[in-house]
Structure 1
């Protein structure tokens, strides 16, 4: 079922649900790339600064689409694993690091290319809204939550237009609040719930950030 015309339409709908946060001490962080247009609409509606939380999925050896875990932070210092997969397949630390290494290189490339807008410690005591265009397995969002928690925000809110119910329930154990507009029980991929779901390139990311609200 198509639920949203595009990411910006989804962002405007999400912003309506988050409207009570307007005027509060809030920061909006997007999971790039797809979460950025959604988060941009949320940040504008709330009058909040916008930045990125750098995060990358770590794929299983031989099956990169299956999430072994994810890393977050400019250097990929936050590592969150799917412990069930690690145990089931007997994956050792060296294998995990081998899978994570190229993703850390990509995070560093993105950090240099996209930059950052918030000063160190800028999240402390704030309400942080983590926004993506949808949550499939939750691997990258779990890593994002862990990375943000390290900066001691007052609360962390996860916001996404679409996610399966079991993943939303899992997120509710990690975040202070989860806002999700559509929770289909039969979930295949985020993109099928959008009429238009193009990939964003690096230049589009930079353009959105350059025009976005800032502190």
Structure 2
């Protein structure tokens, strides 16, 4: 059953739970693409700067939606259990990773104008939901490596059984026991385009 009309709706609900960070030195980082739509609402409601945490999922061959790991700048995370369950060979994983590294570099270059300095700040990492948790884990580890003083992972919905590692605080208003995909909780889960991400990020850039 859907909980949210769309990602913007999810972002407004998430922002209400994140109200204690309003007016702090925190920064909001959305995971492209869909997570940036949610993060934009959070950043607007809390009057915080908006940036991106670029991550790419490593999907199992022939089952791309099933993540066996994820990569971010300077970070490679692989879930041994997921790898074993999906029977992905080292050669298959290497092929998937090569393709995703190319896309990681493309998106990093595309959105580099909003590369926020997180050193010494609280990084609030936002996505539109968690399925396996691979991309969230990689994103959190990457921002920790960049010097974030505190990592807050904030998502509107996630499986009730999932507990993140590598975070200082986890905010999730809807922890669902009956979970098969993030999209099941949205009326509108249309794929977000690069142009929309760029528009949302540009809206948050300071005037020259």
Give the SS at the match of 1:187: coil
Could you say if the C-alpha distance between residues 65 and 6 of structure 1 is closer, same or farther in structure 2, counting changes exceeding 3 Å? Answer: closer
8 Å Cα contact 2:31/2:125 also seen in 1: yes
CA distance, structure 2, for counterparts of residue 46 and residue 11 of structure 1: 11
Deviant stretches of 4+, over 3 Å: 85-92
- 5 Å-filtered alignment, 1:36-185, equals 36-73=36-73, 77-87=74-84, 89=87, 91-92=89-90, 94-118=91-115, 122-167=117-162, 169=163, 171=164, 173-185=165-177
Cα RMSD of the aligned pairs, angstroms, is 1.8
Please list the CA deviations of residues 99-124 of structure 1 after superposition, one character each: whole Å capped at 9, or x if unmatched: 200001111222232333235xx211
Give the SS at the match of 1:166: coil
Q: What is the Cα deviation at residue 175 of structure 1?
A: 0.8
Unpaired stretches in structure 2, ≥5 consecutive residues? none
Unpaired stretches in structure 1, ≥5 consecutive residues? none
Give the SS at the match of 2:161: helix
Q: How many residues align?
A: 206
Could you say if the C-alpha distance between residues 38 and 85 of structure 1 is closer, same or farther in structure 2, counting changes exceeding 3 Å? Answer: closer
178, 187, 195: which one aligns with 2:179: 187
Q: What is the Cα deviation at residue 63 of structure 1?
A: 3.0
Please list the CA deviations of residues 187-207 of structure 1 after superposition, one character each: whole Å capped at 9, or x if unmatched: 011111111221111111111
Could you say if the C-alpha distance between residues 164 and 117 of structure 1 is closer, same or farther in structure 2, counting changes exceeding 3 Å? Answer: same
Query: TM-score, normalising length from structure 2?
Result: 0.92
CA distance, structure 2, for counterparts of residue 86 and residue 202 of structure 1: 30
